[in-house]
Amino acid sequence: MNNQTNTVKKAVQGASLLVVTSFIAKILSAMYRVPYQNFVGDQGFFVYQQIYPIYGIAMMLALNGFPLFISKMVAETDKEEDVSLILQMIFFFLSALSVGMFLLVFFGAATIARLMGQELLAPLVQVSAFTFLFVPFLSIFRGGFQGKLEMAPTGISQMVEQFLRVGIIWLAAFLFAQHNLDIYQTGKLAMSGSLLGGVVAIGILLYYAKKTNTIPAFMGVGFLKKRHLSSKKILRRMLLEGGTLSIYSGFLVLLQLVDSFTVKDALMTYGLSELAAETQKGIYDRAQPIVQLALVIAFSLTSGFLPILTKAFISRDKKQFEKEVALYKKLSFLFAAAATVGLIGILPWMNQTLFQNNQLQGTISVFLIGIFFMILIQTYQGIDQSQGRHKLSLIAAVVGFSIKLLTNYRLTAHFGTIGASISTVLSLAVVLVIFVVFGKEFKLDVKFTLKVVLGLLAMTSVLVLFRQFLPPITHRPVTLLISILISVIGAGVFFFVLLKTNAFTDEELEEVPILNKFRTIIWK
């Protein structure tokens, strides 16, 4: 009993630490683009954003997908010798995959750049290719540690990696402004920050491995001699489970990759010059950090559930787990809807604050609708994964990605950048519909949904009033203050309506500190 209690306590503490460090890393990842765009302009931002999805794909494999799969494999295996052999097997498969991806991207850089519509991007593509070589090491170390409930190495390495990467990106932007680098030299230097961050992250993980003696040897082929371990079975699980986890941890990155190959050419078909198409694509890409910021906010507001769900799951308390999952789904819906409506409402001032002007407001507004779908997709997919169900998640991802691939060029060529936003939102909506229609976990609480809609209407009326009566403002400190003020007032009105309509029970409010605190303030 004591051992189980200690395990639960360690898991909860580890999850809490990982939440904090992941939150810091996500904030850095979401916000570094803003000063970079301010320094290098929309065309320079276009250059970086064209290449970013390649780095993003490598990181979605190394940060979330495969480490989570590996941690699950380690936790399921009792014998330490078998753990070592399984890690050897996965490292071998991941190395083959990563080297293959590196060779494909590095030597295909010229072709990739040409397909992206700008041959000068080839050197940047080659730099980004090296990030794939880090994937086996980062995945094995992080997954191994997490399987032993040691979360500090993963969290700290991830945070330091992001600090270094963002620091190099900001340095590149500063050198662009001070030393007359062109936008391609600047982009190449900015992308090199991911290489430094990856090397240092591996160094930190090696330090922890030596210090704690947690990770068994994994660089070997001893698994080839052990017939009781099926390499085909583990490879199939790695591709299915690890692949599905990876896809959803970076689904927006995959959609962004489609944009990199299609949007510029489609905009030229739409009637823009090459320079204008690159600039418009750069402005369109402003939506990315805003969406990332929204996902970070949703992550931070719901992160209190992670230790609770971990405890219930490890304790095998099915009733408690189902109760917490139900509340998590309610909160996901609530915050997804509120973040989407709220960010669209304050977009004129936020766009001015972050990017110095308010261009393509309609395009970005449509793109922000994807926040609602993405938060709910992550919620339902996570519930499916926690119960060992992968087939529906994989089918939904393939269908959603296919829709983006098939519609993006045509919609953009016909409607301009707003067509690309429509394509993204459409693909996300279809993925969510598949989970809703075919999933086993979806139950629509009609009363709760109506109360959320009532809260959204109240918040929207506040936003409309501000947008109606405030004059156009371009002074960035003022637009920043307005954005914060309206956000606070809008959120206050929204939650006030929810509490007044008893959208949550007293027991549920006790588990959500931010809502419980707000209720205490109102009823004082």
Nearest CA-CA partner of 253 in 396, 386, 404: 404
Length of the chain: 524
Q: What confidence tens digit (pLDDT) does each residue in 18-27 have?
A: 666 666 777 7
CA distance 83 to 155: 22
| 25-46 mean pLDDT | 82
CA distance 189 to 127: 9
Nearest CA-CA partner of 116 in 250, 268, 248, 284: 268
Query: What is the torsional sign of CA 383, 385, 391, 394?
Result: positive
| 180 or 491: which leads in pLDDT | 491
Mean pLDDT of the chain: 82
Given a cut of 70, is residue 17 above it in pLDDT? no
Phi, psi of 304 (to 5 degrees): -65, -20
| 79 or 407: which leads in pLDDT | 407
Nearest CA-CA partner of 374 in 419, 407, 420, 336: 336
CA distance 197 to 200: 5
The two counts, helices (H) then strands (E), for the chain are: 24, 0
Q: What confidence tens digit (pLDDT) does each residue in 293-303 have?
A: 777 766 655 55
| Alpha helices (H) in 116-151, listed in sequence order | 122-129, 135-147
| 444 or 41: which leads in pLDDT | 41
pLDDT band at 403 (very low <50, low <70, confident <90, very high): very high
CA 381 to chain CA centroid, Å, is 14
CA distance 27 to 293: 7
CA distance 45 to 47: 5
Provide the pLDDT for residue 366.
95
pLDDT band at 13 (very low <50, low <70, confident <90, very high): low
DSSP SS3 for 447: helix
Given a cut of 90, is residue 363 above it in pLDDT? yes
| 352-379 mean pLDDT | 89
- Cα atoms in the Cβ-side hemisphere of radius 13 Å centred on 200: 16
Given a cut of 70, is residue 353 above it in pLDDT? yes
- Answer yes or no: are the C-beta atoms of 287 and 368 closer than 8 Å: yes
Given a cut of 90, is residue 262 above it in pLDDT? yes
Q: What confidence tens digit (pLDDT) does each residue in 140-160 have?
A: 888 877 776 677 787 888 888
Provide the pLDDT for residue 86.
79
CA distance 283 to 273: 15
Given a cut of 70, is residue 275 above it in pLDDT? yes
| 411-440 mean pLDDT | 92
Provide the pLDDT for residue 415.
95
Given a cut of 70, is residue 232 above it in pLDDT? yes
Provide the pLDDT for residue 1.
46
pLDDT band at 326 (very low <50, low <70, confident <90, very high): confident
pTM: 0.85
Q: What confidence tens digit (pLDDT) does each residue in 96-127 have?
A: 999 999 999 999 999 999 999 889 999 999 99
* Residue 443 DSSP label: -
- Cα atoms in the Cβ-side hemisphere of radius 13 Å centred on 324: 20
